[in-house]
Amino acid sequence: MLPKHGRFEFSPINERPDYSWPENKRLAICIVTNLEVYAYRKGTGWDPAKTGEPQNQRNFSWREYGNRVGIWRIFEIFDDLNLPAAHNVNSLLYDEHSKILDYIRKRGDEIIAHGRTNAERQGDLWERDEKRLIEEVTETIEKYEGKKPKGWMGPAASESNVTPDLLKEAGYKYLLDWPADDQPFVLKTRSGPLLSIPYPAELNDSASIIHRHDNAHDFTQMIIDQFNEMINQSKKQPLVMTISLHAFVMGQPFRIGLLRKALKHCINHPESNLIWWTTPGQIYDHCLTLPPNTIPGFIE
């Protein structure tokens, strides 16, 4: 028999109950950045030129560009267009780049736990060690933000077989590691339901530009095409469109203007009244207000 995960049941999207987002909006759009720190010449991490290249000063510096320059250009776009955002944050960012967190706090954006560093993968850990890692990340964010994060995104979406169980037991409300749907759905854990909120394997600048070798025009056209289709589909069923950004990728000057253009396309669309610009945490909060089992299995 094939190995099975046992986390959720098959559910065709066209057979589910209908509902709406706040104020009868139909398409929830989340912009989520990934703010990461890396070990120097050790561990894991992408390279700008070659898949599987050893860690060196070049790829370290390329990724660091995102923290020194790229994210600030992206913040400028969010501010100019008055858009909310959420941020997948490595907890070591608080030690290495606290000014970024200061600005996120000033904007009132959501912080999503994103492991300690993208130089490690939690899926490689024993359960006891992974539990300790999750506790450390959670405690760090709570220390600086005054509250625990609601959501988790594993570094490189890495998970062990017990990650959802450990996250539920640590108090997490939702997870972004399972790109299986355009609506929130329930993951079963040994301690109760955990909400999976859509996060893209496709509409993700890292996957598109680094791995599939698309260019910036390709990626931003993907945003436009995804939006055009989903704004129409959302009239039949509420949908979530999440855009994943890495500051060292889309924060490059020759790409940043195209990102601005794509977001303006969405904002200025004739049916923009159907859009809820939001964050994964706000989606979770709204799901709590729905009648039980509107999202099958979601009872909190």
Predicted confidence (pLDDT) per residue in 56-111, tens digit = 999 999 999 999 999 999 999 999 999 999 999 999 999 989 999 999 999 999 99
Question: What's the CATH architecture for 18-43+53-289?
Answer: Alpha-Beta Barrel (3.20)
Q: How far is CA 173 from CA 12, 31, 157, in A?
A: 24, 19, 17
Average confidence (pLDDT) over 25-49 = 94
- Is 90 exceeded by the pLDDT of residue 293? no
Summarised one tens digit per residue, pLDDT across range 170-217 is 999 999 999 999 999 999 999 999 999 999 999 999 999 999 999 999
Cα separation, 251 vs 296, whole angstroms? 38
pLDDT band at 296 (very low <50, low <70, confident <90, very high): confident
**Residue range 1-15: mean pLDDT, rounded:** 93
- Segment 230-243, tens digit of pLDDT: 999 999 999 999 99
Question: Which pLDDT tens digit goes with each residue over 239-280?
Answer: 999 999 999 999 999 999 999 999 999 999 999 999 999 999
pLDDT at 299 over 80: no
* Residue 274 confidence (pLDDT): 98
- Express as a percent the part of the chain with pLDDT over 70: 99
Nearest to 109 by CA among 285, 279, 246, 274: 279
CA geometry: angle 148, 152, 158, nearest 5 deg? 145
Q: What is the per-residue pLDDT for 50?
A: 83
Mean pLDDT of 132-152: 98
Q: What is the pLDDT of residue 300?
A: 66
C-alpha span between 10 and 8 (Å, rounded): 7
Split at pLDDT 50, 70, 90, the class of 46 is confident
Domain spans of the chain, in order of start? 18-43+53-289
